[in-house]
Amino acid sequence: MSLPEVPSGVRPVVGDHLSHIAIPARTRQWRQVANFAAVAGRRARSHAPVLPEAPDYRKLFVVGCGRSGTSWVQGIIAAHPRVITTQESHAYEAVYDPVTRRSAASLNAWTKVLHRHDLSEREARWVGLHWWINRADLLDLVDWGLHSGLIGDDDAAESVIEAIFDTYFVSRGGTADNMLLEKTPGHIAYAQQILRRFPDARVVEVLRDGRDVCVSMQMQGLTVSWPPESRRAQINTWARAARRGLALRADPELADRVHLVRYEELKRDPEPEIARLFEFVGLDATSGFVAEVADASDFRHHRTTGAGKHTRRGEVGDWRNHFSTADEEMFRELAGDVFEAVGYEL
């Protein structure tokens, strides 16, 4: 698998998604002090820099519960030559949450933003803001945020997020003919405000049988730490994302800007599903191109699959090989209502 390019000034990740570099606690603490000092120095400046300029361009966000196939769908869309994309930004968790929980004038809030970027880059993480912007450019945006006193905290945070997207888009030579694709599964929690912030943006929600999602979490948890460990937590994670998707698609102001991709339907009959996906996002795709994308994205082409890998088996109904009777009863109790509400049958 070839790695996407990183912005100038960011150290490239070498290896695979398991090549995480552990930073000692003392070093992490020292880095936090250094990052606080950097942010404090920016607040002492007499004026803020201007935000970067970018051409008008379309934005597409792929969301859903983790392990539902969001990376698969991202890869399908990214096959189009007019699409610009990279790794997950987690921008709303990394910027919006700390700033709005404190304030845009808070040193601690912006230190947390910078510190997350710093650690993600130094630990060679496969997701994070460092795939989108380098430290120097992020510090300029932090500087702007600290001096944005005439607007609300929400607006300041989202303006910085938009500027991060713009910075990456421009650095990749994006023009008005291109589309920026951002895939962070957890952004389903922010999808409604994303669509309101970006009036021309669209969202693709990827939905998969929650029982298969739980098993996929269980297997990836053998090598990475983010998936919930207990079956109860896995079920609740899927149910929460599914409920958010329901609410998003039920919003009359936004529903026509949301497209639902069912994992099982994409797996069973990929070409018509891919054609509908390209049509929704507004990208021209001939039947021949769709056929090429369907073949190239087939799981049989993945060289590294299996337990603990980012791509495992991709089979529909594999939960039957892993769920106990108690697991089935728990799933019915915790998620049965939303499971049926989104169109599945127990």
Q: What is the pLDDT of residue 188?
A: 98
What's the CA gap between 233 and 228, in Å, rounded? Answer: 6
Mean pLDDT, the chain, integer: 92
What is the predicted pLDDT for the residue at 310? 46
pLDDT in tens, 287-329: 999 999 999 999 887 655 444 444 556 789 999 999 999 999 9
Looking at residue 252, what is its pLDDT? Answer: 96
228-256 per-position pLDDT tens digit:
999 999 999 999 999 999 999 999 999 99
Chain centroid to CA 72 = 13
**How crowded is the C-beta side of 15, counted as CA atoms within 13 Å?**
10
Measured CA to CA in angstroms, residue 298 lies from 75, 76, 267, 268, 301 at distances of 11, 10, 8, 11, 6
Parts of the chain belonging to CATH 3.40.50.300:
55-82+180-346
Q: What is the pLDDT of residues 12-37, one digit of tens each?
A: 777 676 677 888 999 999 999 999 99
- Helix, strand, coil fractions of the chain, as percent rounded to 5: 55, 10, 40
Indicate the pLDDT class of residue 333, thresholds 50, 70 and 90: very high
* pTM, rounded to two decimals: 0.93
Beta strand residue intervals within the chain, DSSP E: 58-64, 83-85, 179-183, 202-207, 258-262
Residue range 160-218, pLDDT digits in tens: 999 999 999 999 999 999 999 999 999 999 999 999 999 999 999 999 999 999 999 99
- Separation CA 86–CA 4 (nearest Å): 6
Q: Which overall architecture, per CATH, does domain 55-82+180-346 show?
A: 3-Layer(aba) Sandwich (3.40)
Count CA atoms closer than 13 A to 282's CA, side-chain side: 15
CB 227 within 8 A of CB 220: yes
Cα end-to-end distance, the chain, whole Å? 37
Cα of 169 vs its chain's centroid, Å:
16
CA distance 116 to 123: 10
Side chain identity at residue 10, one-letter code: V
Task: Using DSSP, state whether 83 is helix, strand or coil.
Answer: strand
User: Residue 260 in 3-state DSSP?
Assistant: strand
